[in-house]
Structure 1
């Protein structure tokens, strides 16, 4: 049946113009079908262009079983639900029901909206906020989903989003006066009744970890679990199997105490005082924690006298808020919910103070206005393995980047997977003719002085001659800032920098300009699909090893050592390889694409481990001469054989 669906006369050929059968796609679909029938585990690395989405959707729909499909991001989730799933349903004549379920932060909370509108009538409210809230209320009168991504009056990065949505902490649940109108409740009901539910990894793992989303009633009923972009799972699982406390959570609960005082309990002035004290204690704690954009070791920072002092003040503020709010229990639903959160935060802070418990990483992170304190387990394998055993059914994991030199050991070990079948499916793209890879001979060493200046001088002419159409992917925000400034001085082309506008707006601007250079980090290494000649050059500043100062990495390295392993070979290299594969994957997205990849790191050819990276990448002809890249991009070099003499896995001098 599966072979027929993917044949040149099958259902997909009839439904999709230009459909061409691809053996790797058929092989994957057959393997997914077998895993569903056997209720087993399957791990598939499917190269870019394989068509893995259809390869798992067809057998899932044809099985007739209840399935959960989890993707790596909300954007991918929406693309799957609104584009790929309807097409497959139509092609296969599928009559089952489907549902899209996001985390609660994506849905309007009618109760919090009305409370915020009431608050905005106060004289000290921000000007303009009321009119925006009224527009949201107008939209709420006709929306069926309550999904804020559909609200044109609200920017995707609007500071109002956390104000008009709920969290697990502040949701009133069935005690909410607007419970029957709650969009989260409605979305869950649709998911409960659906045969196929599309979620994202964060939502799935939040449920598995804490069972607080209400989604827990749904997962046990599913027979098939499919994880697309599965390479993200281990890190996301680590977040949800740990604990955290943030200044944002503390200030949100303080704000709710304020609202309760102003709207319902004007006779209890002490509420306002404890809310102010708690909010101020959170802000003071942030001030002593250092520079924004930094992730550090909480165990070490906690010993600082100034931090120790503010930690005592924060603990005292929580204790006082707990005692004062307790006196007014039963008088306000909002205040009752705030009391539950304060009790939870007290317990979390007490746990965060005790850094003596082994098997965890203790770390903190600061942004400009907020901080978070975190406890993360060093391994989630046991927890995830238990979940799979308890749940049963079929578990399918797929991504374009799971293996290191064709070996899945690193990925499997991190999640406790024991898959009977693992497979690597090569991309159908003609890399020898569509792409070139260059490690320039005169590229500065990764730790050299004024490296950004040297890179800009070396690569600026290449970018200029290519008329932009280039991503420069960096491994740090500092390099993004330095290179952006240098290229803006040097180039006649538009230079866009990540952080100056939201990701989707930045990408739209890049595409509309047609000749821009985009300098970016993390968020643009994966999940970006730019086809055609809008992107014909991808430059990577260096191999993406995680920062040696990252407390999570330090803890995992120490754990690996305790188990007698080699941290560099077993932790650092595999993760850097997978990240590099993601960055490389931005270049060739279609069979008509062509482009050049430049990796500015001599370690690829001077260190023994460089071969591990190269063998994990597609078979792209390689050179050390940037002139070859110029020739290829300009179309004057069409002979791939010329490049073979420059293969990087051959001994190279210079």
Structure 2
């Protein structure tokens, strides 16, 4: 193991990275983070490291990870970031360090072709229409030549094709060692490579699916490790909530029914026995979804259960599922496929019963509706306890890093959500010169987001009117970020005939396509919500303005959030200041972080929520942003862009 101080020196002005990588800029913050990560791995500590944009945090954790002598799991926020880390950053760092250890990329099983499911689907090929038949033929041809079985290799079959769920497996329908194709299984091969690797790159979905579900005996996808490094760690609380939840969906039950019929192939008399109960189950699902039509798209379970037709429908569904499970038990020994369907039915019946009958006292029960289906959930009120237990079971170092983990310099909110008791903490400022590169514009005279102004304009109209002169000064080149899709659509209508620059609106094309077209346009105006607030990297003059319509407080219709806020209040903590403000401040930092991505970038951050200056809590938001000058004068913004030609 290299000395911690030497780790920092490797990234210094006289180190191998400065010598061997073109355009590598030594940064003190990067060196400090590398030392802290090395120390945390060596001591099996828990570390929170907030590294401002431009710190170079990827190298700051990869260097000590590769030199630690430990098996390390690196987890990222998305599959796109996972691929970038594995195919771009990791090879460079390994080449400079000359490390010989193995590295592996591991994705969730839905990303890998399942040979058994493909074989089943081919046998039913006559039921497909022309497009799907052609896609199935392409998948069959590819299956004969692929080594990894990663569906990303096959670009000609779209990611959203309905065929993919039919030729990939889930933890529920995987036959495991009893599968006739087990020896050639792509998931098993990928897992074997991960087991043999010193560094494994995964994403948060896979990490938490494995670590959370392992408790329920699903088996371990990821190898045990000496250290877990979570990049984009601000996403962890929300994702962890999904994986520690118990859920049952109409889709799962419909898939169960369909798979039961598929498994009847070749089993004498099975179809005659199962067809009627399958149709009864499918009918109960349709009636139940119809009974839910009058309800909001999501809410507390009690609101759902209070409707007599829904209450009866749930009881009916539970009884039919229990009877179907008993029937499957009588057929389970006849084939491995039917045994698997029986196990799934039993697990779903137990889960449905737990959610409908009340579950644990620590759970929040809630529902959500989709155009053709529904899902019922029981989510832990407090994630700190299961997350703490999960970390303790691993006995490993846990390193959480992101550009946005603190609120006005404090990590309390993040640490409390994850149950991090007395963690090591490190705050590293961005090396960017925000005082010269950026300006924060807080336009005067805008109405409260929930009000109309004196002339009857709503908040979105006022935001667009205030933004137009800024867009004129910047010649477009702007992101307009909204906290709701409704405001996004309204803004798109208002701007359609009022700007001479290309307009790119979220939803009109795939996200990656919109970003490519925006960059290429040079003077575009992009309107986005939710997913555009983070993970979007546009370097250079193509992006010179970020407009944020209002403070990103979480939607008030979230039943889990509401229950958590009630629990905080009962424990004597002000839920608004103790939870809602910190969570919104971290989200605001993410949106603001789109502006300056490079030492040569210049730009204006326009914040259109008057509560930043009219409310006491506004100071917490402003104190959480990078240290840039602020103005309320449009003239200062215009002067900023007139001076854009002067060198930094």
Contact kept, 8 Å, 1:206 with 1:213, in 2: the verdict is no
Look up the match of 1:62: 67
SS of equivalent residue, structure 2 residue 331: coil
Look up the match of 1:457: 465
Post-superposition CA distance 1:63-85 (Å, at most 9, x none): 12111111111111111111111
Post-superposition CA distance 1:126-165 (Å, at most 9, x none): 3311110110121122211111112112223333222221
How far apart in 2 are the matches of 1:339 and 1:268? 15
Provide the TM-score with structure 2 as the length reference. Answer: 0.93
Of 616, 627, 630, the residue aligned with 1:619 is 627
How far apart in 2 are the matches of 1:522 and 1:295? 18
Post-superposition CA distance 1:557-582 (Å, at most 9, x none): 01111211111111111100111111
What is the deviation of 1:56? 0.8
C-alpha distance 395-445 of structure 1, shift in aligned 2 (>3 A): same
Contact kept, 8 Å, 1:456 with 1:487, in 2: the verdict is yes
Of 120, 130, 135, the residue aligned with 1:127 is 130
Look up the match of 1:513: 521
SS of equivalent residue, structure 2 residue 398: strand
What is the deviation of 1:420? 4.7
Of 390, 405, 409, the residue aligned with 1:402 is 405
Alignment of structure 1 residues 29-108 onto 2, 5 Å? 29-108=34-113
Alignment of structure 1 residues 142-157 onto 2, 5 Å? 142-157=145-160
What is the deviation of 1:336? 2.1
What is the deviation of 1:446? 0.5
Alignment of structure 1 residues 308-319 onto 2, 5 Å? 308-319=311-322
Confirm whether residue 534 of structure 1 aligns to residue 542 of structure 2: yes
Alignment of structure 1 residues 544-555 onto 2, 5 Å? 544-555=552-563
Q: How many aligned positions are there?
A: 637
Confirm whether residue 303 of structure 1 aligns to residue 306 of structure 2: yes
RMSD: 2.2
Contact kept, 8 Å, 1:247 with 1:370, in 2: the verdict is yes
What is the deviation of 1:120? 2.7
The worse-fitting range, judged by mean Cα deviation, of 358-367 and 484-493 is: 484-493
Look up the match of 2:283: 280
How far apart in 2 are the matches of 1:385 and 1:555? 21
Confirm whether residue 596 of structure 1 aligns to residue 604 of structure 2: yes
The worse-fitting range, judged by mean Cα deviation, of 93-102 and 223-232 is: 223-232
Look up the match of 2:484: 476
Contact kept, 8 Å, 2:171 with 2:218, in 1: the verdict is no
Look up the match of 1:651: none
What is the deviation of 1:462? 3.3
Look up the match of 2:455: none
C-alpha distance 20-267 of structure 1, shift in aligned 2 (>3 A): closer
Provide the TM-score with structure 1 as the length reference. Answer: 0.93
How far apart in 1 are the matches of 2:557 and 2:221? 40
SS of equivalent residue, structure 2 residue 145: coil
How far apart in 2 are the matches of 1:586 and 1:348? 41
Contact kept, 8 Å, 2:546 with 2:605, in 1: the verdict is yes
How far apart in 2 are the matches of 1:178 and 1:494? 51
SS of equivalent residue, structure 1 residue 334: helix
Contact kept, 8 Å, 1:632 with 1:638, in 2: the verdict is no
The unaligned stretches of length 5 or more in structure 2 are: 1-5, 453-457
C-alpha distance 497-262 of structure 1, shift in aligned 2 (>3 A): farther
Contact kept, 8 Å, 2:12 with 2:26, in 1: the verdict is yes
SS of equivalent residue, structure 1 residue 398: strand
Contact kept, 8 Å, 1:14 with 1:91, in 2: the verdict is no
Alignment of structure 1 residues 231-310 onto 2, 5 Å? 231-261=234-264, 264=267, 268-290=271-293, 294-310=297-313
C-alpha distance 70-366 of structure 1, shift in aligned 2 (>3 A): same
What is the deviation of 1:403? 0.7
Confirm whether residue 494 of structure 1 aligns to residue 502 of structure 2: yes
SS of equivalent residue, structure 1 residue 55: helix
The worse-fitting range, judged by mean Cα deviation, of 631-640 and 490-499 is: 631-640
Post-superposition CA distance 1:521-552 (Å, at most 9, x none): 11111111111122221111100011222111
Contact kept, 8 Å, 1:101 with 1:188, in 2: the verdict is yes
SS of equivalent residue, structure 1 residue 490: coil
How far apart in 2 are the matches of 1:441 and 1:56? 43
What is the deviation of 1:202? 1.5
How far apart in 2 are the matches of 1:407 and 1:349? 40
Post-superposition CA distance 1:558-609 (Å, at most 9, x none): 1111211111111111100111111111111111111111111000000000
C-alpha distance 330-463 of structure 1, shift in aligned 2 (>3 A): farther
How far apart in 1 are the matches of 2:268 and 2:462? 63
Look up the match of 1:9: 14
Look up the match of 1:378: 381
C-alpha distance 300-291 of structure 1, shift in aligned 2 (>3 A): closer
Post-superposition CA distance 1:243-265 (Å, at most 9, x none): 11111211211221232235655
How far apart in 2 are the matches of 1:475 and 1:70? 27
Contact kept, 8 Å, 1:464 with 1:493, in 2: the verdict is no
Contact kept, 8 Å, 1:474 with 1:540, in 2: the verdict is yes
Alignment of structure 1 residues 326-341 onto 2, 5 Å? 326-341=329-344
C-alpha distance 173-639 of structure 1, shift in aligned 2 (>3 A): closer
C-alpha distance 318-356 of structure 1, shift in aligned 2 (>3 A): closer
Confirm whether residue 180 of structure 1 aligns to residue 183 of structure 2: yes
The unaligned stretches of length 5 or more in structure 1 are: 641-654
C-alpha distance 133-217 of structure 1, shift in aligned 2 (>3 A): closer
SS of equivalent residue, structure 2 residue 264: helix
Contact kept, 8 Å, 1:77 with 1:199, in 2: the verdict is yes
Look up the match of 1:437: 440
Of 557, 560, 584, the residue aligned with 1:576 is 584
Look up the match of 1:216: 220
Look up the match of 1:164: 167
Post-superposition CA distance 1:91-125 (Å, at most 9, x none): 10100001111111111111112222222313xx3
SS of equivalent residue, structure 2 residue 588: helix
